[in-house]
Amino acid sequence: MEYITDLHFHSKYSRAVSRDMDLEHIAKWAKIKGLNVVTTADFTHPAWFRELKEKLTLKDNGLYQLKDQQSDIFFALTTEISCIYSKGGETRRIHLVAVAPDLQTVDKINAQLNLIGNLKSDGRPILGLDAKKLVKIIMDASPAAMVIPAHIWTPWFSLFGSESGFDSLEECFEEMTPHIYAVETGLSSDPPMNWRLSQLDRLAIVSFSDAHSPANLGREATAFELENLTYQNIVKALKQQGGEKNKIAYTIEFFPEEGKYHWDGHRLCNLRLSPAETKKYKGICPVCKKPLTIGVLNRVDKLADRPEGFKPTSRPPYKSLVPLQEIIAETLDKGKNTKGVQAEYERLTQSGHSELNILMKMPVDELAKMTNPAIAEGIKRVREGKITVLAGYDGVYGTVKVFSDKEKKAIGQSKLF
């Protein structure tokens, strides 16, 4: 059976995260989105860890559920950890997702990390710890644990980041490299961009939301085909050791241009540049004369040993989506958080269909009967990739356009259909 998972986002104990990112709201929104398994997030934070122990119960499948609620949402124990340290004469900033099989293992991990840094300061702790040493601590705690490098292309905080990352897995993890089985694409890259690196061939390529608010859960996700929904089978699939019975079915992706680090540029200078334009300016901002922030596409080009468009024969498929609220907002020509957009979103997702089912699977003619036909047309265009995206850069999200300005005017006048 197919199970959709989001194993990387943050709790209310992380900086710049909604206060609604508690277990109850996470479970509620996971249902709205169409997720089956979500992360608890932030298990290193002492106060949050106490809540996990109080509110969750371990089920026979090795996953957790809320004790006192009738919810069919399962939780897996994962957290993001920031390693900032010096190596090879440079400052490295690497974010890693740690995956643990049970609360007892988390207790062991937290006990070790508490000796290294202040776990109370943030849900995503910052540790002066070499990434390979963190992997060793996680694996020593339990052989059933895993470490997944997070959003591996983000310029400032990732494995391959242009500002503080490495050029290879081995350079980062050294003797612990064999314990890395999967990498996360991040919002600004998609699987085809990662297929261009032969060094990633043995690794699973996964996607998760890295959400800071409930409404963003599942904006990226990984769907598994599992014989039975168990922690063990998810790990088998991530390690590509589950055969046909336990495997990654597909990943759910942003259009990478919509990610906030896809192109190069300078946020303060309001300057967005393609890799070719950056080369023309020799990496220097023509406005302020300081070095540009080099984005994901440029960095992939630098490290890739295969041409753009390379297609492997044995990779799972992927689906590129635009969040439903964004499609509704553009169709109605209103802000995403306005009452009208929120009302239509709630009406659609409370009709017995989850957001991901609406975006990926419902027949368009059925959708057109449920909502404004233009919204159904927008969903159809997203499925077909018939959209325009102004690429994100230096922390600024890209802008999606499903309809032309002329079409939007026609929608407003009810003349498109």
Instruction: Give 226-244 pLDDT, tens digit per residue.
Output: 999 999 999 999 999 999 9
- Indicate if 30 and 170 belong to the same structural domain: yes
Residue 211 has pLDDT above 80, yes or no: yes
* Tally: H helices and E strands in the chain: 15, 17
- Indicate if 91 and 189 belong to the same structural domain: yes
Residue 412, pLDDT score: 72
- Indicate if 194 and 340 belong to the same structural domain: no
Domain stops at, among 217, 236, 258? 258
Write out the residue range of the structural domain in which residue 17 sits: 2-258
318 beta partners: 251
Residue 305 lies in a domain: no
- Indicate if 113 and 233 belong to the same structural domain: yes
- Indicate if 71 and 208 belong to the same structural domain: yes
3-state secondary structure of 211: strand
Residue 183 has pLDDT above 80, yes or no: yes
Average pLDDT, the chain: 96
Q: Domain with 65 in it: what CATH number?
A: 3.20.20.140
Residue 276 lies in a domain: no
- Indicate if 123 and 6 belong to the same structural domain: yes
Residue 141 lies in a domain: yes
Residue 307 has pLDDT above 90, yes or no: yes
Residue 268 lies in a domain: no
Q: What whole-number percentage of the chain has pLDDT above 90?
A: 95
- Indicate if 254 and 327 belong to the same structural domain: no
- Tens digits of residue pLDDT in 347-393: 999 988 999 999 999 999 999 999 999 999 999 999 999 999 999 99
Domain stops at, among 258, 280, 308? 258
- Indicate if 133 and 215 belong to the same structural domain: yes
- Indicate if 126 and 212 belong to the same structural domain: yes
Structure tokens at 360: 């990926």
- Indicate if 45 and 143 belong to the same structural domain: yes
| pLDDT bucket at 173, cuts 50 / 70 / 90 | very high
Residue 199 has pLDDT above 60, yes or no: yes
Number of structural domains in the chain: 2
Domain stops at, among 224, 258, 292? 258
Cβ-proximal residues to 293 (8 Å cutoff; 6+ apart), any chain: 155, 162, 163, 261, 264, 265, 266, 267, 393, 394, 395
Q: In this structure, how many other beta carbons lie within 10 angstroms of the beta carbon of residue 72?
A: 9
Residue 417 has pLDDT above 80, yes or no: no
d(CA 229, CA 1): 8
Which residue spans within 101-203 are E strands per DSSP?
A: 126-127, 146-149, 182-184
Residue 156 has pLDDT above 70, yes or no: yes
Q: 111: phi > 0 → left, psi -120 to 50 → alpha, else beta; which?
A: alpha
**Entry field: residues in the chain:** 417
| pLDDT bucket at 155, cuts 50 / 70 / 90 | very high
Q: Residue 292 corresponds to which amino acid?
A: L
Residue 328 lies in a domain: yes
What single DSSP character describes residue 345? H
Give the Å distances, CA to CA, from 313 to 51, 240, 317.
Answer: 44, 15, 11
Residue 58 lies in a domain: yes
Residue 352, pLDDT score: 83
Q: Residue 243 corresponds to which amino acid?
A: G
Q: 80: phi > 0 → left, psi -120 to 50 → alpha, else beta; which?
A: beta
Q: Residue 269 corresponds to which amino acid?
A: C
Residue 413, pLDDT score: 66
- Indicate if 215 and 341 belong to the same structural domain: no
Residue 301 lies in a domain: no
Quick one: average pLDDT of 178-198? 98
| pLDDT bucket at 71, cuts 50 / 70 / 90 | confident
Residue 62 has pLDDT above 60, yes or no: yes
Residue 410, pLDDT score: 83
Residue 117 lies in a domain: yes
Q: What is the pTM of this model?
A: 0.96
What single DSSP character describes residue 258? G
- Tens digits of residue pLDDT in 82-138: 999 999 999 999 999 999 999 999 999 999 999 999 999 999 999 999 999 999 999
Among the residues of 311-372, which ranges form H helices?
324-332, 339-349, 355-360, 364-370
Worst-scoring range by mean pLDDT, 142-156, 192-206, 306-320, 398-412?
398-412
- Indicate if 122 and 250 belong to the same structural domain: yes
